[in-house]
Amino acid sequence: MKPASMPARRAHFVVQGARAMRARNLQRIAGLALALVTAGAFAAVDPNIRAVQPDHLDDYWVLANYSTLTADVPNSGTNLSKPTCTAVTYMIGSDGVTRDIVVRKTIPAGDLKSAAASLVKNMRYAAGAKNAAREPVFTYIIVPFNLPADKAARKKITDACTLTDFPQAYR
């Protein structure tokens, strides 16, 4: 090989490498798009999954990690210090892990909805007294933030997030 031909050959390999990289990137993007479409298809909760109102959830599943529960709270954002409630629907699988987490309502609107979603994502459950078979359930929770000390005021805020049309409107 001549030394003069080396740069031309390297340039050829660089172009070939760039084409191959571009093709791999397109394959990755196509795969990601397929994964997102597939995930979207499974986002709806199966109508055969038992829907349980929050006040009856303990019959089926009991929160097991209450004392170590954490949430990712934003450092800055809208209405972070105001009294707020957020309603989050989710499914508890037969393994006690939450999935299909969707923030449905935040009053007043603000950035605490991401904190509520992360809180629910970190919840782990143990089977309740009526659920020896570990049946998955669909339910929701109201996550309160910055509530005042007055019980009546607290109730007024959290009642605003009650999903009166649960589960029909949320499957």
**Gap between the Cα atoms of 42 and 52, Å rounded:** 20
- Is there a cis peptide before residue 144, judged by omega within 30 degrees of 0? no
Q: For 12, list phi and psi in degrees, rounded to 5.
A: -60, -45
Whether residues 64 and 121 share a domain: the answer is: yes
With beta carbons less than 8 A apart as the criterion, state whether 32 and 148 touch: no
pLDDT of residue 3: 52
Tens digit of each residue's pLDDT (9 = 90 or more) over 18-65? 455 454 544 544 444 434 433 333 356 788 899 999 999 999 999 999
Tens digit of each residue's pLDDT (9 = 90 or more) over 82-135? 999 999 999 999 999 999 999 999 999 999 999 999 999 999 999 999 999 999
Domain edge (last residue) among 9, 24, 42: 42
Whether residues 154 and 90 share a domain: the answer is: yes
**Claim: this prediction has a pTM higher than 0.95:** no
The residue segments making up the domain with residue 23 are 1-42
Number of domains in the chain: 2
- Could you tell me which residues come within 8 angstroms of residue 127 by beta carbon, excluding any fewer than 6 positions away? 60, 61, 62, 96, 134
CATH of the domain at 111: 3.30.2420.10
Whether residues 36 and 118 share a domain: the answer is: no
3-class secondary-structure state, position 34: helix
Whether residues 36 and 55 share a domain: the answer is: no
Whether residues 31 and 56 share a domain: the answer is: no
Whether residues 4 and 56 share a domain: the answer is: no
